[in-house]
Each structure stands twice: as structure tokens, then as C-alpha cells.
Amino acid sequence: MAFFFLCMLCAGLLSGCGRREENASQAYSPFSALTVLAADTESKDRPTLADFGTASIGILTGSSYDPLVKERFPEAERVYYSTTTDMILSTEQGKIDGFICDSPYYVAALWEGANLDAVKEPVDQTPVAFAFSKSDADSRLVAQMDEFILTSKENGLLEDLEEKWLNEEEPPVEEHPDYENLSGGNGTITVAVDVESKPLVYL
């Protein structure tokens, strides 16, 4: 259950989730994710956000990062991409100076060996929430998720999950969950995940 919770938590970080849609409801917000500016490890001449004032910055098309970059870096060149992977490659190849993403996606890139470094000063902080169909707003599932989030905050489980799965070093394979042995006795839940990013791919 703990790993499932973490995967859904990361799923809430999909770009463009800055607004709450009218046809969706949400559970409590587990935490706020830092929005960071990632650059190539050799970009030693840009140590602070101020140094990116006129830089070329990658943005996911249609994401909430677009107005954020317009506000924080009005003189910067905005370059649009359809995937985080494309932004990483363009940064490593020197096609752009850096890109905006939420910290878990930056960490996942490091797991894959990306030559990236994040500016220490965060660009923003984004509340994370679970999104459900509005028809499920009063369902037992939403109530259970709310209870689980609040309990996890109180007993320290949320902090432990962040430390393990959102750290700069990927947990060893033997610590990954074994879904083959789950009984399914409590039913099946269908969720949307970003298959491009770890730890979601472990689902």
C-alpha cells in the first residue's frame, strides 16, 4: 500500500496539474513538490536563478510551467517540448540552457544517469493532490485515501517514502515491490501513471 501511495503521489505531479478541473475532486494534498530549474552539470556559469534571466529554458507544452517561466524569466527564450526526456537530451546536448520540472522528475533523471544539476534555489513550490472523478467524491476510496494521507503525515510514513523513493539514488532492485504476490482481495484500482518516469514505471 505504501508504494502504491507513493506512485499515485508522483502521478499527481504530471505537468499542467496546477489547476483543479471542474469535473474532478481531490483528496488531501500529501505534500508540496519543489519546482526546479535543471541545467547541464558543466553549466558552472549559471549558479543562480538570476543567471537564467536571458537563457533558453525548456518547458513542457501545455503545462503550468509556461506562465511560471513568463513571470519569473520574462526575458528568457521559452522552448517547448512534448516530453521530459526530450528536454533532458536537449540540455545535455547544449541546445537549451536548462528546463523547468518538479523535483521528483529531476531526481528520476539522475537515476537514469542524466548529466544534470539543479539550481539550489527552487523556482516555485507546487501542492500535490490525488485527482478522482467527481462521481467518486463521496466514495469509500476517497475517504480511505484521505485517512491514509493524514495518518502517513502523523506517523512519519510520508517522510520515509519521500526519503526512499524521491532521493537522488534509486533504491536497489530487491527493494522494489513484488506485485506478483498481491492477493487482490480488496479489489482492483485503475490509475493513470506517467510510464516515462520512475518510480511510476514499476507499476
Show which of 94, 111, 126 is a domain's final residue.
126
Maximum Cα interatomic distance, the chain, rounded to a whole number of Å = 56
Residues 52 and 119 in one domain: yes
Find the CATH number of the domain harbouring 44: 3.40.190.10
Q: Give this prediction's pTM.
A: 0.69
Between 26-35, 140-149, 167-176, 190-199, the lowest mean confidence (pLDDT) is in 26-35
Model confidence over 12-22: pLDDT tens digits?
444 344 444 44
Residues 53 and 122 in one domain: yes
Decide if 67 is inside a domain.
yes
Is 97 exposed, middle or buried, given 0-12, 13-18 or 19+ CB atoms closer than 10 A? buried
Identify the top-confidence range among 19-28, 157-166, 184-193: 157-166
CA distance 198 to 203: 9
Alpha helices in the chain (DSSP H): 2-11, 65-72, 84-92, 103-111, 140-155, 157-165
Residues 71 and 105 in one domain: yes
CA distance 52 to 55: 5
Residues 104 and 91 in one domain: yes
Residues 132 and 195 in one domain: yes
Residue 77: in which H helix or E strand, if any? strand 77-81
CA distance 98 to 121: 14
Model confidence over 8-47: pLDDT tens digits?
444 444 434 444 444 444 555 556 677 888 888 776 665 7
Find the domain containing 65 and state its range.
Answer: 33-126
Residues 110 and 169 in one domain: no
Residues 133 and 155 in one domain: yes
Tell which residue, 147, 141, 146, 128, has the closest CA to residue 27.
Answer: 146
Measured torsion, CA atoms of residues 109, 127, 43, 165, in degrees rounded to the nearest 10: -30
Residues 95 and 76 in one domain: yes
Decide if 8 is inside a domain.
yes
Decide if 115 is inside a domain.
yes
What is the chain's length?
203
Structural domains in the chain (count):
2
Between 12-21, 59-68, 86-95, the lowest mean confidence (pLDDT) is in 12-21
Please report which confidence band the pLDDT of residue 136 belongs to, taking 50, 70 and 90 as the band edges. low
Angle at 129 between CA 52 and CA 22, to 5 degrees: 100
